[in-house]
Amino acid sequence: MMKSFIPVIVLGAVGCALSAYAYLSNDTGVAGTPGALLALIGAAAVTVGSVIAALTALGRPLFFLLAFLIALAAVLTALAAFFLMQYGLTVVMALAFVGLLVAVLLPAPQRRLI
Amino acid sequence: MTSALRPLIVAMCFAAPAGADQLRWDTFNGNLANTKFADVDTFTPANVAELERVWEVHTGDVSDGSGDLPETVWSATPIYANETLYLGTPFYRILALDPATGAERWSYDSKSALEALTQPALKNRGVAYWESGQTGPCEKRVYLGTMDAELHAVDADTGELCADFAQGGVLNVNQWNTVNDKFPFSLLQPPTVVGDTLMLGWAGNDWAYSVAPPGNLMAIDARTGTLNWDLSFIPDALIPVTGTANIWTSMSADPELGLVYVPVSSPSPNYWGGNRTDPIPLATSVTAVDVETGEVRWSQQIVRHDIWDYDTPSAATLVDIERDGQTIPALVQTTKMGFIFVLNRETGEPIFPIEDRPVPASDAEGEVAAPTQPFVLTPPPTNDPFKMPAVWWLADALSFGQCSREREQYRYEGIYTPPSVQGTFLFPGTAGANNWGGAAVDPRTGILYLNSMRVVQIIRLIPREEYEQIDGGSGNEAGFYPQEGAPYGIELREWRNDLGLPCWEPPYGTFSAYDLSTGERLYEVPFGLSQQWGFYGLSDWGSPTLGGPVVTAGGIVFIGASMDARVRALDAATGAELWSDLVEAPSVAIPAVYTHQGVDYVVFVAGGNSILKPQVSDQVVAYRLGQP
């Protein structure tokens, strides 16, 4: 397992919780909207992608492709959250993006612990 | 009367609280003059950010239309009188609440059928209040209208029906619906109470028929329910071929002059007038009517031969203004077109010029559009009458040029471009630049405050044979409308690209202030946030609005109205936002500001309206400043 992905997984999970709240709760201004659902899917994609990256021994090209897709999901979800005025989710997704960069850019021996 | 005394008396009649520190809010517009002015200085730009939500209530009377009931549209102004807060609901109930806590004191259920008989939704704009000045049962009353044309009168203290009013407290207004009775007189707007008289209009579905009930104003005895007089706005000779020109919105009145000011809507059908080419001078007008006799004193038609559904949408605002050293009793009529008519309310003479300007001809079968229309360019209109907004580059780019292509495809030659088979841009859209929320005015300064929207629609006349093949339905100010009896049905839609983005450039809504003495616009700022799929637009884009503002003596404007379901406090001097709070649906209503037991409150109803977006609620929210 790549422990360096754990912060990204945790942030993704927090993002899922925040976006689920935004989608379901009446006091967010975006309950039940397609935009909030999109943010929930985006946060879920970050979480699931990070779990796959952490647990699966991928070849280099596939690993970087997956990392790119997770980064894209994090950035787009942060952007969506900004326009949904869900600023907590924006911050969490921005942190997830930073965490992802750290996880990917760390030297390989430290990345591959298993 | 001397000009020096007049402002004082007017202020006493129109804007004055009942007691020294007990501000009432006992009509739809706060007072009969429709100033929407609250004479409280508690709320100021320095402290309004400290507003706290002190109570909220859910009435339970809400439907999103997904079940058996039609969706609800709730735009009630809370009525503060008799030390109680009264609300009508879209399920046609009355709630009496404790103004300080929101606790229910009593409720009354009209048991009206919850069917969308004339409207696409269950609509309600609240209740009316009357008191005789005597004590005893039913000397204070609350009136509620229903979709199926009943007017209920109940005791303001107990909620019991007043047996001496009509038949056991319920007046069947439809008994007077005897000509072209295609639909019932829906009583969605509460009556306007002038002295002991209830001034009553009604709503119908004039987009459905060419021949429809002729619109009328009914003066009803507040105690007995007797019809004192009624006034029709359609000439007798035209009644067999047309109808409506009804009063569906609130009215204002000057008790001193004995006049009620009546906003009259367009004749039927809404978007083709080949059946009614003879003049109908009282249609789409503001008309001054004698309260006692029903005689028309004067009338100003604001659209001739209306084929755009540019109904006069709101009560006129009555205020005395200073010009050239004189105090003039003025009337300000905001309009769907964005023109602001300022007239002498005694005589109907314009205070700022009304220009007759040539407008485009119609190419529709049987149609004869008016060759000229009245334009008012001072004060500046809220919407440009000569030029529609440009194509929005973002919507155009994302739709690969769809917006630009459509701009070339449809007809537009200024505000009064007639509907056509080709398709015509309607700007402002049929919901108007300004709607029933109207304006607020500070009578001390003569400054008018007004929210407006900039929405572009496309209207297309559809030849009858083609229309009969279309499997469509009419919605809330959009969709297909049959116009039975006309050679055309119509399709009305907002100008959006296939992604759902508006094709015209923002702003979509603004808030403005005008000096009525000079006609100068003091400021115009984008107002509110638009919202699509949950995503908010930028603050520069503003929002379409439904509902009106309230201005207070402390220099604060309270307003909901925007699409983003926020209620706001603005700095009256600049229009800058000072405070906001998220509520559960757009507050498409006029807030109430009142003083109860020495404490000033502002209360919003958050009911929603699908014209803005499909979000409804049954929430009532009250705010006050925090404890010192």
Which ipTM value was assigned to this complex?
0.92
Q: With contacts defined as CB-CB under 8 Å, which chain A residues touch B533? A: 33-35, 38
Q: With contacts defined as CB-CB under 8 Å, which chain A residues touch B565? A: 29
Instruction: Verify whether residue B320 is a known catalytic residue.
Output: no
Kindly report whether the peptide bond that precedes residue B379 is cis, defined as omega within 30 degrees of 0.
yes
Looking at the complex, does the CB of residue A35 fall below 8 Å from at least one CB of chain B?
yes
Q: With contacts defined as CB-CB under 8 Å, which chain B residues touch A30? A: 534
| Rounded distance between C-alpha atoms, residue B552 and residue B567, angstroms | 15
- The minimum CA-CA distance between B616 and chain A, rounded to whole Å, is 11
Question: What pLDDT is stored for residue B4 in this prediction?
Answer: 44
Residue B398, pLDDT above cutoff 50: yes
Residue A109, pLDDT above cutoff 60: no
Residue keyed to tokens 């009931």: B69
| CA distances in angstroms from B161 to B27, B98, B143, listed in the order given | 20, 20, 10
| Rounded distance between C-alpha atoms, residue B550 and residue B356, angstroms | 33
Question: What pLDDT is stored for residue A113 in this prediction?
Answer: 43
Question: What pLDDT is stored for residue B492 in this prediction?
Answer: 95
| Rounded distance between C-alpha atoms, residue B424 and residue B82, angstroms | 50
B534–A36: do the CB atoms touch at under 8 Å?
yes
Question: What pLDDT is stored for residue B236 in this prediction?
Answer: 95
- The minimum CA-CA distance between B120 and chain A, rounded to whole Å, is 23
For residues B316-352, one letter each, b for 16 or more C-beta atoms within 10 angstroms of the residue's C-beta and e for the rest, the string is bbbbbbebeeebbbbbbbbbbbbbbbbbebbebeebb
Quick: pLDDT tens for B455-506. Answer: 999 999 999 999 988 866 666 556 899 999 999 999 999 999 999 999 999 9
Q: What is the enclosing helix (H) or strand (E) of A19?
A: helix A6-24
Looking at the complex, does the CB of residue A59 fall below 8 Å from at least one CB of chain B?
no
Question: What pLDDT is stored for residue A2 in this prediction?
Answer: 77
% chain B with pLDDT above 70: 95
Q: Name the residue among A26, A27, A84 with its Cβ closest to that of B534.
A: A84
Question: What pLDDT is stored for residue B471 in this prediction?
Answer: 67
What pTM was computed for the model? 0.93
- The minimum CA-CA distance between B63 and chain A, rounded to whole Å, is 15
Residue B448, pLDDT above cutoff 60: yes
Quick: pLDDT tens for B155-171. Answer: 999 999 999 999 999 99
Residue B515, pLDDT above cutoff 70: yes
With CA atoms as reference, report the closest residue to B126 among B97, B169, B93, B82: B93
Quick: pLDDT tens for B15-61. Answer: 433 344 458 899 999 999 999 999 999 999 999 999 999 999 999 99
Looking at the complex, does the CB of residue A33 fall below 8 Å from at least one CB of chain B?
yes
Q: With contacts defined as CB-CB under 8 Å, which chain A residues touch B606? A: none
Q: Average pLDDT, whole number, for chain B? A: 94
Residue B68, pLDDT above cutoff 90: yes
Helix (H, G, I), strand (E, B) or coil at B496: strand
Residues of B near A (Cβ–Cβ under 8 Å) read 533-536, 564-566, 582, 584
Question: What pLDDT is stored for residue B18 in this prediction?
Answer: 38
Question: What pLDDT is stored for residue B472 in this prediction?
Answer: 64
Looking at the complex, does the CB of residue A80 fall below 8 Å from at least one CB of chain B?
yes
Question: What pLDDT is stored for residue B108 in this prediction?
Answer: 98
Residue of A nearest to B614 (CA): A33
| Rounded distance between C-alpha atoms, residue B456 and residue B406, angstroms | 12
Q: Name the residue among B533, B566, B582 with its Cβ closest to that of A33.
A: B533
Question: What pLDDT is stored for residue B205 in this prediction?
Answer: 85
| Rounded distance between C-alpha atoms, residue A28 and residue A19, angstroms | 10
Q: Name the residue among B533, B536, B584 with its Cβ closest to that of A85.
A: B536
Residue A108, pLDDT above cutoff 80: no
Quick: pLDDT tens for A54-89. Answer: 998 888 899 999 999 999 999 999 999 999 999 999
Quick: pLDDT tens for B339-366. Answer: 999 999 999 999 999 999 999 999 999 9
Q: Name the residue among A26, A27, A29 with its Cβ closest to that of B564.
A: A29
Residue B11, pLDDT above cutoff 60: no
What single string gives the DSSP state of each residue in B324-366? TTEEEEEEEEE-TTS-EEEEETTT--BSS--EEEE-PPP-STT
Residue of A nearest to B566 (CA): A29
Which of the following is catalytic: B155, B309, B396, B564?
B309
Question: What pLDDT is stored for residue B34 in this prediction?
Answer: 97
Residue by residue, what is the 3-state secondary structure of B389-421? CCECHHHHHHCCCHHHHHHHHCECCCCCCCCEC
Residue keyed to tokens 């921005």: A94
Quick: pLDDT tens for B556-607. Answer: 999 999 999 999 999 999 999 999 999 999 999 999 999 999 999 999 999 9
Residue of A26, A27, A38, A76 to mutate for B, most B C-beta atoms under 10 A: A26
Looking at the complex, does the CB of residue A81 fall below 8 Å from at least one CB of chain B?
no
Q: Name the residue among A27, A28, A83 with its Cβ closest to that of B535.
A: A83
> CB contacts < 8 Å between A and B, how many?
25
